[in-house]
Amino acid sequence: MTLNHPLPDDPLEFIQRCIDQRKILWTYHVNIRLKRRFVPRQALIESYASYEIIEQYPKDKYFPSYLVRSEFQGDVFHILFAIDV
């Protein structure tokens, strides 16, 4: 079942603003993934200026989501953000 959630006009700017304002919900799943992949939360927070959307999933199961590429201290990683406008 796909729900129709509103999409932001500029998804990248919306994600970056949420990170900057610390409006983030760290789910159990995210915390486990970060730990297993040795990616500190701080890497996600401090690298938001280098975010680049590489895939969009506007009709994802629960919320629209975006696969984002980022770099932190020479390491490249990908993050999937589900957004709730």
Where is 30: in which H helix or E strand? helix 28-36
Distant-in-sequence, close-in-space partners of 65: CB < 8 Å, separation ≥ 6: 56, 57, 80, 81, 82, 83
Does this model's pTM top 0.75? yes
Query: Could you report the per-residue pLDDT of 28-74, keeping only the tens digit for each?
Result: 999 999 999 888 999 999 999 999 999 999 999 889 999 999 999 99
Tokens read off for 75: 């390491």
